[in-house]
Chain A
């Protein structure tokens, strides 16, 4: 499965459920932007490793909204403590999808440790998350998204789609996102 196929499936589910999407730095955000741009998408342009943490804080603040995080193997490896925090504090409306292409896809396909011995699904379970699902194809991902899960590890092929850069400023991304739940007059 190509990563953009997995992101397309997640974006469709997110739109159908009115879910908030936090997407990882680099090509994953660009691919999501190209597939389906929505105010409910937060494109993380910096702070590598923190997509899962931003999504966690958001899911705790907005417990009635589904929050889906599109993260990567390299990024989760950079912030492994997040798996422990998620296991202990993530509410039911939180879902972390790790798009595992076994490499740093935005910097030239350098391999990560998941290309060899490391299993992030096993690490999420060992951190204490009970509902961890592992999928390899579009059908499996669709099925997993219909089940109760806190972490889904989706194996995807290395490689990036040919998509443009995100034509939004950081201000635009965050202002339209905040407006979903904070009344305009309260926005500073």
Chain B
């Protein structure tokens, strides 16, 4: 999984992401370590994903390039903030999402939000991508560029297949 985390981290670096808020997922553990030890990124662990949307919005207003790392369960906690803060004002945000609840999910509680995640993003007109390990780095850069140019959030969904792939 270190290769997967490093690929995403390289993408964040190339995109110029310098600010990250997070609520952890077991699949994001190594990536969170990389970010925490990166002197060019300020990492603020938050208590809830919606709070992270607010913190990232403020960081962008102050000139940073923010990313929010979270599990897709947190998307449900963030809908109002994504809509009435980021989409309302045109605030870009890179969402790095561990997409649980797909095929092979051992935790049944992850399944309902797992099924809803892509459709919720689509309904909100937030672009989302599910890259493979070979395209992850490039996809991170492209997603941030899209978020910045279109002035809205963009999401990368990394499902169980991504983390288990070689």
Taking beta carbons and an 8 Å cutoff, which residues of A are in contact with B? 22, 42, 44-62, 79, 81-82, 84-85, 89, 170-171, 173-174, 177-178, 181-182, 188
**Interface contact B53-A60, CB-CB below 8 Å:** no
Interface of B is mostly: helix
CB-based nearest A residue for B66: A57
Q: Is the Cβ of A42 less than 8 Å from the Cβ of B44?
A: no
Binary per-residue interface labels of chain B (56-89) against chain A in the complex, 1 for a CB within 8 Å, 0 otherwise: 1111111110100000000000001101110011
Q: Are A50 and B85 in contact (CB under 8 A)?
A: yes
CB distance from A24 to the nearest CB of B (A): 12
**Which residues of B lie under 8 Å from residue A46 when comparing CB positions?**
80, 83-85, 88
Residues of A within 8 A of B46 (CB): 53, 81, 85
**Which B residues are CB-close (under 8 A) to A171?**
89-90
B63 near A57 (CB under 8 angstroms)?
A: no
Cβ contact within 8 Å between B58 and A54: yes
**What separation, in Å, do the CA atoms of A45 and B64 have in the docked complex?**
22
Q: How long is the Cα–Cα vector from A50 to B151 in the complex, in angstroms?
A: 19
- Contacts beyond the supplied A46-B85, A60-B58, A79-B51: 13 A-B pairs with Cβ under 8 Å: A57-B56, A57-B60, A60-B19, A81-B46, A81-B47, A81-B51, A82-B47, A82-B51, A84-B47, A85-B55, A171-B90, A178-B63, A188-B151
* Chain B min CB distance to A14 (Å): 16
Query: Does B159 sit at the interface, judged by CB under 8 A?
Result: no
Contacting pair B61 A177 (CB below 8 A): yes
A84–B47 CA distance with the chains assembled, in angstroms: 8
A residues in contact with B42, CB < 8 Å? 60
A-B pairs with beta carbons under 8 A, tally: 122
Q: 29 A-B residue contacts at CB 8 Å?
A: A22-B58, A46-B80, A47-B54, A47-B81, A49-B54, A50-B51, A50-B54, A50-B85, A53-B57, A53-B58, A54-B61, A56-B55, A57-B54, A57-B64, A59-B58, A61-B63, A62-B62, A62-B63, A79-B48, A79-B50, A79-B51, A81-B47, A85-B46, A174-B61, A174-B89, A174-B91, A178-B61, A181-B62, A188-B151
* Bound complex: CA A58 to CA B59 (Å): 5
B138 within 8 Å of A (CB atoms)? no
Q: Which residues of A contact B89 (CB under 8 A)?
A: 170-171, 173-174
Say yes or no: B47 contacts A57, CB within 8 Å. no
**Looking across the interface, which residue of chain B has its beta carbon closest to that of A44?**
B85
Given A174-B61, A178-B61: A54 and B88 interface contact (C-beta under 8 Å): no
B149 at the interface (CB under 8 A from A): yes
Residue in B48, B55, B62, B64 whose Cβ sees the most chain A Cβ within 10 Å: B62
Chain B residues with Cβ below 8 Å from A81 are 46-48, 51
Asked if B61 contacts A58 (CB within 8 A), the reply is yes
C-alpha spacing A61/B55, complex, angstroms? 10
Q: How many whole Å from B146's CB to the nearest CB in chain A?
A: 11
Task: Report Cα–Cα, A65/B54, bound state, in Å.
Answer: 19
Are B53 and A61 neighbours in the complex by a CB distance under 8 Å?
no
**A174-B91, A188-B149 known; A50 vs B50 contact (CB < 8 Å):** yes
Q: A54 → chain B, closest Cβ, in Å?
A: 4
Q: Are B50 and A57 in contact (CB under 8 A)?
A: no
